[in-house]
Structures are given as C-alpha cells and as structure tokens.
Amino acid sequence: PSGVDVSMGGVTKDIQESFKQLGLAMLAAIAIVYFVLVVTFGGALAPFAILFSLPFTIIGALVALLISGETLSVSAMIGALMLIGIVVTNAIVLIDRVIHKENEGLSTREALLEAGATRLRPILMTAIATIGALIPLALGFEGSGLISKGLGVTVIGGLTSSTLLTLLIVPIVYEVLSKFKKKKTK
C-alpha cells in the first residue's frame, strides 16, 4: 500500500555489510599482492602468471561448498580471503625457481620443467599440511562449531583445486606470456 516502506535491517543488513567489506578486502588484497609481486620481480610478467592461479581457487572453493552443503557465509568469505595469500605463495615458489633457472641460462621451457620437478614436493607438502590442519574445522570435530565449518571447507576446496591447477596452468601461462614478451621485444 502507499505510504508503506520496506527495509531490511538487523542481521540481514549486518551480513550484507560484511559481504561488501570482505569483497572490498579481497580486491584490496589482490591489488596489494600484485603490487608487491611487481616490485619484487621487477616486471608484470611473473606477477600476472602468478595471479592467474586465483580463479582456480574460486572454482574449488565453490565446488567444495556445494558438495558439503555449506552456504557462502561470512566465514567462507574469510576463508576465500585467506586463500589469496596461500595460493599465491604456491605459484611464487614455482615461478621464482623458473626465473632463477632462466637467469642461469636455461630456456623458459627447460626452466619450467626443472622448476616443476624440484618444486612439486614442497608445494604439495605445504598444501597437504594445510588441508590436514583444516579437516577438523571442515568436519566439525571437537567443538570447532558450525561457524568455522565454511572457512575450513572453502580453504580445503580452494587449495586443492588451485594447487593442482597451479602446477599445470601457471607454467603454461608463464610460457605463453614469455614468448609474447620475447616476440614484442624483437
């Protein structure tokens, strides 16, 4: 009827505000990580290849939430924010080794193969340890509570998919970008 206003408030409004703030925090985290990577690596090629691992995190996190029956909650969003740092670290370990090997005279392809072989174990060990530590959260053991279940499921799903795909896709992206850069400089 005329003269009647409907507005959301209370918990719904708080949750919407939390989602908005966490979304902005994620964008800020990605921008800060990219800036730090550009400064550290001295260019945009490696940082772009490294950040290319982030979309795979989202896929894995959403699939894990779907399989587990969890909703996209504030704790799941906090897990997604945590994943930005965790996933980028795996890609940094790989690409940093590639760059060092290129500087030693290996071709990009040879450097990628060497880095994949030598960095596989540390990357997998880190991911497996993190996933193992979060299993009690995801399963709700020992009073971990429902509030943290979404965080555990999100991080486990995102880390699983991104680790596997980082080892495959990030080297491909790096090689393609490297070839493009070499053609452009000729």
pLDDT of residue 9: 66
**Tens of pLDDT, residues 52-81:** 889 889 999 999 999 999 888 888 998 999
Tell me the C-alpha distance between 88 and 127, whole Å.
12
CATH architecture of 50-173: Up-down Bundle (1.20)
Checking if the pLDDT of 42 tops 80, the result is yes
pTM for the full predicted model: 0.83
Pick from 145, 167, 21: nearest CA to 87: 167
Q: Name the residue among 31, 36, 33 with its Cα closest to residue 87.
A: 33
Distances 136 to 54, 60, 90, 153, 179 between C-alpha atoms, Å: 25, 19, 23, 10, 44
Q: How far is CA 155 from the centre of its chain?
A: 9
pLDDT, average across residues 130-140: 89
Name the burial class of residue 169, with classes exposed (0-12), middle (13-18) and buried (19+) by CB atoms within 10 angstroms of its CB: middle
Domain residue extents for the chain: 50-173
C-alpha distances in Å from residue 39, one per residue of 33, 35, 43, 87, 154: 10, 6, 7, 19, 30
Q: Work out the pLDDT band at 137, boundaries 50, 70, 90.
A: confident
